[in-house]
Chains A and B, each alone.
Chain A
Amino acid sequence: MTDIIIHCAVALLLPPLLLGVIGKTKAAFAGRVGAPYLQPYYDLIKLFQKGSVFSETTTWVFRAGPVVTLAATLFAALLVPLGRHGAPVSFSGDMILFAYLFGLSRFFTTIAALDTGSSFEGMGAAREVTFSCLAEPTLFFALITLARMSKSLTLSTILTSVTPAIWLAAGASMLLLVGALFIILLAENCRIPFDDPNTHLELTMIHEVMVLDHSGPAFGMILYGAALKLFVLGAVFVNVALPVATGNTFADWAIFIIAMLGLAVTIGVVESVMARLRLVRVPQLLVGATILSAFAMILVLR
């Protein structure tokens, strides 16, 4: 019971902090002071109190987009185990539902973007669906590999049964998996080198351009949903990459939170030292990640 409460509290409250940490890291690299760590929370509170502007071309689809997207992402947050504890909702086969919930949220984000009739948002939506489509097989290769190691179809079991012993036994495979998962994490969350979350008015961007017309509470939900998605996929990554379990509930939660913040710092470092890839290079990197994860699967077959 305690775990469920902590799970919900962490999953609901922590995500915006990740954005704050990424921002602070990038500021540190640029030699700036940067916005406070809690800035994303202030932004969210502000957005939920702002009025909205709706384009005349939009319909109910535009309003439903952020709602369905956030609902699906929240559901995914209930399926993923955090801090070496089983998730509140878990059943055999939930890994497939987990992957498809992102498909559902993507469908609604992109049709909401198309509802504005703007070609900018059309471009963003086209890129989003294309790149995610290439990222999807990678996720499944990774899940099959992990499922084979843990002999389970339950996301909680799959992710919590990764132990240091498995790392020692199948280190090469795990390393490939971690690499592939990190690429997927960056691509799905539209971070550098796939997309630059700071640019708002370029022809090359993906996620930010899809949400150009959203305002007020809807934009707040989108911002929160994006942070939550980063958190959820980040949690999958941390579970695989850092399989430390102490046995003490609170120590595990503390380790998890520190690991998530460390991940945010890592993303901030990647964003500071890398440039965004040219758009035509993005699919190559994604297909590369698929092949990495396919190798990981082959390596565990022995």
Chain B
Amino acid sequence: MTIVLEPTGYLLAAATLLALSGVPGLLLRRPVFGQRIAAFCVVAASLLGEAAVAALLGGTPGATYQIDWPLPFGPALFSVDHLSAIFLFPLFIVTGCASVYAVAYWPAREQPTAGKLTMFQGLFAAAMVAVVLSRHGVLFLMAWEVMALSAYFLLTTEHRSAEVQRVGGVYLIATHTGTMALFAMFSLLRGTLGTFAFPGSHSLSQAVPFATIIIAAALIGFGGKAGLMPLHFWLPGAHANAPSHVSAMMSGLMLKMGVYGILRTLSFFDVLPAWLGWLMIVLGAWSAVNGIALAMGQRDLKRLLAYSSIENIGIIFIGIGLALVGIQTHSPTLVVCGFSGAFIHIVNHGLFKSLLFMGSGALIHGTGTREIDRMGGLARRMPITSLLFLVGSLAICGLPPLNGFVGELFLYVGAITDGIASPLPLAALVAPVLALVGGLAVITFVKLYGTIFLGAPRSAAASHSHEAKGLMTAPMVLLAVGCLVAGMVPPLLARLVAPVVVFYGGLDREAVARVIGQVPLVPLTGAAILLVILGAALGAFYLLRLRRLPCTRGTTWGCGYLEPTARMQYTGTSFSEMAVNLLGALAAPRRVRPAIADESFPPTVRFHYAVTETVLDRVLTPLFRWTGLAFSYIRILQHGRLHIYVLYIFATLCVLMAWTH
């Protein structure tokens, strides 16, 4: 008897398992045991899910499940296709890793919030699976809301901190503003189609009323969730204050749900407006450059990583934009390179950003701070974390031979090939922008890695740090190996995304294979091996020389100064200061310089330097304050007397009845 693997069913089973994984922990008297059960369930669900994804990408079609629920929106529909699969692939890897990591990072023995956290973590992952599986507007919105709200409860785990409360509030407002746009979008779709069920691919004509509004609403609603500028303002605070494995899931996975939403919405239309591709390229380039410029100036380890997520989302959008432009200009190269680059970067970013966020969790455990200028010299005390973090940093800078390079390579090849062929090669301008972003990423991650792991410890906390537990390092090792293998053998990534590009790009298999053949993936494998051989040979030569020759140890050469202290080191802030000032218009550094009294014994003064969040601090907060003041008179209606409130309801109903008759 052969068991036919039917992807949708397996994925729904995996989602159910994920959603219920945290429940035993809430019921059992021993929370430690509950957390272990949850981790076991999540890993099992992840394996099940990965099997289904593999089957789907291998060619087994997913069935459509219809559930007749008693709600007046028509039957709920679940299905899975290649577009869903490419988002599910990193989702299950990262979710499985995060749940194992959580056992050591947020142990139920020490953390009373662990039960709640584990429950919402499972629910969060399940909701994301449901988002990519649902084929029905209302069902989608329900899954979307469960995802958004469980993310809220996850990020406010440490809800007693005022900072967490503030960023939680900002997140809640931002996500619901986005959901409002999605309500508008799905209502308009319902009005056009007469049903909430998703239309088939390319079945909507551009001529339908409100097509532009539907696309704009999708860009606002989903773009906000993805962290696209200028709707990114909720992201840095939320990602910085969540527990690290949750940050990993939010940054590595939840942002991609926004990307998924946009791609899914665009797939409904047969022809897309000509400006859309360019708009996406411009928004993506803005997010990439501005995101990394803001990341560069951060002092908080996790805020820095959060801003760099905005940069990576920008790169993904550049890819999608290139592909859309390619569809307009009938350039298969641009379509395939753009979509492949975007999809590969979606997978890659899931891997290396989760790795870096988990690494930052290990650092927070080891040192008790998120301030990178208080760390230093941790490579000695945390050698494994240090090595894994280095792999993540190299990968996120897009340097060969790691996986980040592969996605960017596709975008470069697409952009430059277009630059060669097309009469007006505007798309080629993407290449210098990507080069600039890559250079800024190197500044950011050299700063991050150098300040945290190298040099001498800058504080007592850093000098007493300890290596992370095995259960924390094991998932990180898995992710790092993933980054390394995907980078050394790039054809693997191409094989992963090729069916998705065939499915989504509207091109046949041969055309896609031909374009992917133009991208030097196999030579890159050879190049990676050659690079490793060269490095190994030189390293062996160097070690042999070192063994042969005398070695002495001394203090760092201080140009003649004999008593250097750790405080004299360059800090992360000083490292990035020059570049931040050059990009002052984007990074908006703010200095509070005190006046130093002109007297013999001036009193102590403080100097404050920070990179500000322009959109939130300078636009939205003042705007909300003014709106609050302007509408304060409406507060007369809200007085806390319940019977009058009931009267409001009655009056509203009367008005509505009168209106409908």
Contact = CB atoms under 8 A, between A and B. Distances in A.
Interface of A: 48-61, 63-64, 66-68, 70-72, 74-75, 78, 89, 91-97, 99-101, 103-104, 106-107, 110-111, 114-123, 125-127, 129-130, 132-137, 139-141, 143-144, 147-148, 151-153, 201, 212-213, 216-218, 221, 283, 290, 294, 297, 301
B376 A117 contact: yes
Interface residues of B, number: 81
Nearest to A133: B439
A92 B417 CA distance: 11
Contact of A144 (B416, B454, B579): B416
Contact of B442 (A71, A92, A133): A133
A197 B308 CA distance: 34
Contacts of B542: 63, 66-67, 217-218, 221
A71 B553 contact: no
A294 B433 CA distance: 12
Given A101-B400, A147-B420, A118 B527 contact: no
B570 interface: yes
A51 B550 CA distance: 5
A298 B534 CA distance: 39
A253 B546 CA distance: 37
Interface of B: 376-377, 379-380, 386, 390, 394, 397-400, 405, 409, 412-413, 416-417, 419-420, 423-425, 428, 431-436, 438-440, 442-443, 445-446, 449-451, 453-456, 518-520, 523-524, 527, 530-531, 534-535, 538-539, 542, 545-546, 549-559, 564, 566, 568-570, 574-579, 582
A134 B579 CA distance: 10
Contacts of B419: 144, 147-148
A111 B454 contact: yes
Given A54-B554, A129-B443, A134-B582, 10 more contacts: A52-B551, A53-B554, A59-B386, A66-B542, A93-B520, A118-B556, A129-B579, A137-B432, A140-B434, A301-B424
A168 B483 CA distance: 47
Contact of B446 (A63, A94, A111, A152): A111
Contacts of B550: 51-52
A93 B439 contact: no
B417 A114 contact: no
Contact of B454 (A95, A96, A114, A283): A114
A99 B550 CA distance: 37
Contacts of B397: 103, 107
Of B400, B405, B439, B445, the most chain A CB neighbours within 10 A belong to: B439
Contact of B538 (A50, A70, A120, A135): A70
Contact of A67 (B399, B539, B552): B539
Nearest to A64: B539
B559 A137 contact: no
A57 B425 contact: no
Nearest to A127: B578
Given A114-B446, A140-B432, A122 B416 contact: no
A115 B531 contact: no
B455 A117 contact: yes
Contacts of B446: 107, 110-111, 114, 125, 129
17 contacts: A55-B556, A56-B555, A57-B556, A59-B379, A67-B535, A94-B523, A100-B438, A104-B399, A110-B450, A111-B446, A114-B450, A117-B377, A119-B574, A126-B578, A136-B438, A148-B420, A153-B420
A103 B575 contact: no
Of A54, A100, A132, A216, the most chain B CB neighbours within 10 A belong to: A100
A101 B450 CA distance: 20
Contact of A91 (B424, B433, B438, B523): B523
A301 B556 contact: no
Contacts of B524: 97
Contacts of A100: 398-400, 405, 438
Nearest to A49: B549
B234 to A, nearest CB: 28
B490 to A, nearest CB: 11
A161 to B, nearest CB: 12
B569 A141 contact: no
A71 B417 contact: no
